[in-house]
A and B are shown apart, each in its own frame.
Chain A
C-alpha cells in the first residue's frame, strides 16, 4: 500500500512536470496536437470507407465496427500519453548517462524508465475521437448499460494497455543487444494498427497468429468482443492470461537487458 501511494505520487509529479514544462513551450503542445489530429484524420478514412460502403462483416454493422476502431483509439491514447515517449527515449538513456543515475535510485527501475515522461497532447485527439465513436456505437446498437458489461469493458481495456505495453517494450529493449532496432520498432508498432478493424475481416491464419502467437488482437479487439458477447469462456480467460504472461515476459527481458548493460558497459 505504501509502495502504491509512493508510485502514484510520483506519477502525479511526472504529470506536473509535463504541465510545467509545457507552459514554457506552448507551441510544441499545439504542434503535437495538430500533427496527431492529422494522423487521426488519416486513420478515420478507414471508418469513412466502412460507412460509405455500408460494410457488414460477420454480422457487424458499421456502428459495431466503429466500436472496435474507437476502442483502438482509446488504447492508443493511453499508450501515447504514458509510455510512448519513454520507449523512444530508452535507447538514449544508455548513451546520455541517465540510466546510470536511474539505477542508483531506490525505486523500480522499469517503472522509472517507462513512465517518467508523460505527454498530454498526443492522447487528446485520439481519446476524444475514440470516446465519441464508442458512445455512439453503444447508443445506436443499444448495448447493455449494466455495470458488469461496462466494468468488463474497462477491465479488458486495461488488459489491452498492458498487452500493448509488453509487446512494444520489446523492440527498444533489443537495442541492448543489437545496435539499431528502429526498423523492428517500426514494424511492431505497425502491427498494432491491425486493431483498427475487427479481427473478423482477416483470414483464419492471421486471426490465430494475432490471438495466440503475438496476441495483438487482445489489445483492442477483445474489449468490444466482450461487450458484444462474442467472447467464449476460453477466450475470456486467454484475454486475461496472455497480457499477464507477456507482461512477466517483458519484465524478464527488461531485467536481462539491464544485466547486460551492467556487465558490458563502461
Chain B
C-alpha cells in the first residue's frame, strides 16, 4: 500500500510545480462559458418561457459555468501516458516489479488532481457565493457533501473510462486519433458542452444507459438543484457500479494486453 501512496505523493509534487498551468487551462474554459451564457440569455429572452429544457435561466447559466469547470477538472491524460508506455517499451520496467501498474497510475492521477482540487473548489465557491447573492438557489450542506462525493467518484470513473480506452494501444498501432476523437465524443455525452437535455428523448435514453453522463451532467445538477437529493444518492450508487464494471473490464483487457505485449517482446 505504501508504494501506491508514494505514487500519490509523486503525482501531487510534480503537479504542484505546474499548478499555474491548470489555471491557464481553466481560462481556456472561459470563452465557451461566455459564448454559451449569452446564447442562453438570448434564447430565454426570445422564448418568453421561464423554463427551457427544464432549466430556469439562472440554473442554466450555473450549469454552463460549473460544467465547463468540472469537465476541465476531470480531464486526464492517462490514455496517452499508458499508450506511450506500451509503445516505447517503458512498460517493461513496471511489469517486472511486484506491483499493480494500473493502481499505481490511479494513485498518481488522484494525487495530481488533489492539487487541482483546491483551485477548482475555490472557483466553484466564488461562483456559488456570487450566485447566492444575485439569485436564490437551493443550496444546503447536505447537497454540498453529496456533490463532493459525486465529484470524487466522477474523477475515478473518468480515470477508468480513459484507462479502459488506453488498453486499445496494445492492439492498435496509432491510437492517438481514437483518443482525441473519443475525448470530444465523451465530452458531448457527459454533458460537458451542453446539458444532455438538449438531445431528443431517444438519445437521452441511450445516454442514460451509458456511464458518461455520471461524470459532468449528474454531478453539476446536484448543485443546480435540478435533481432531488434522493435521486442524487441513487446516482452515486450508479457511479459506484460503473466504476466496478469498468475497473473489472480494464483489468481483464490489461491481462489480455499484457499477454500480447510479452508475446511480441515489448
Contacts and interface: CB of A to CB of B under 8 A. Distances in A.
A and B in contact, CB less than 8 Å: yes
Interface of A: 27-28, 31-32, 34-35, 38-39, 41-42, 45-46, 48-50, 52-57, 183, 186-187, 190-191, 193-194, 196-197, 201-203, 206
A57 B43 CA distance: 8
B182 to A, nearest CB: 8
Interface of B: 21, 24, 27-28, 30-32, 34-35, 38-39, 41-43, 46-47, 52, 174, 176-178, 180-181, 184-185, 187-188, 193-194, 198
Given A45-B198, A196-B35, A57 B42 contact: yes
Nearest to B45: A57
Contacts of B184: 35, 38-39, 41-42
Nearest to A58: B42
Nearest to B23: A183
Q: Which of B42, B47, B52, B185 has the most CB of A within 10 A?
A: B42
A57 B21 contact: no
A34 B177 contact: yes
B174 A53 contact: no
Given A35-B177, A53-B52, A45 B194 contact: yes
Given A38-B185, A57-B42, A201-B39, A48 B198 contact: yes
Contact of A197 (B27, B39, B185): B39
26 contacts: A27-B174, A31-B178, A35-B177, A35-B181, A38-B185, A39-B184, A41-B184, A41-B188, A42-B184, A45-B188, A48-B198, A49-B39, A50-B43, A53-B46, A55-B43, A57-B42, A183-B24, A183-B27, A190-B28, A190-B31, A193-B35, A194-B31, A194-B34, A196-B35, A197-B39, A201-B42
A193 B52 contact: no
Contacts of B185: 38
A193 B32 contact: yes
Contact of A52 (B42, B46, B180, B198): B198
B193 A45 contact: yes
Contacts, number: 85
Contacts of A39: 184
A201 B41 contact: yes
Given A27-B174, A35-B181, A186 B24 contact: yes
B31 A191 contact: yes
A45 B32 CA distance: 13
B181 A187 contact: no
B184 to A, nearest CB: 4
A187 B187 contact: no
A57 B46 contact: yes
Q: Which of A31, A50, A206 has the most CB of B within 10 A?
A: A31
Q: Which of A46, A54, A196, A203 has the most CB of B within 10 A?
A: A46
B194 A49 contact: yes
B46 A183 contact: no
Contacts of A32: 177
Contacts of A201: 38-39, 41-42
Given A55-B43, A202-B38, A42 B31 contact: no
B174 A31 contact: yes
B187 A42 contact: yes
Contacts of A42: 184, 187-188, 193
A55 B178 CA distance: 35
A53 to B, nearest CB: 5
A31 to B, nearest CB: 3
A187 B177 CA distance: 23
B85 to A, nearest CB: 21
Q: Which of B38, B52, B188 has the most CB of A within 10 A?
A: B38
Nearest to B38: A201
B174 A183 contact: no
Given A31-B174, A45-B194, A186 B28 contact: yes
A49 B198 contact: yes
A183 B21 CA distance: 8
Contact of A55 (B35, B42, B188): B42
Contacts of B27: 183, 187
B28 A46 contact: no
A157 to B, nearest CB: 21
B46 A55 contact: yes
A197 B35 contact: yes
Contacts of A57: 42, 46
A54 B184 CA distance: 26
A54 to B, nearest CB: 8
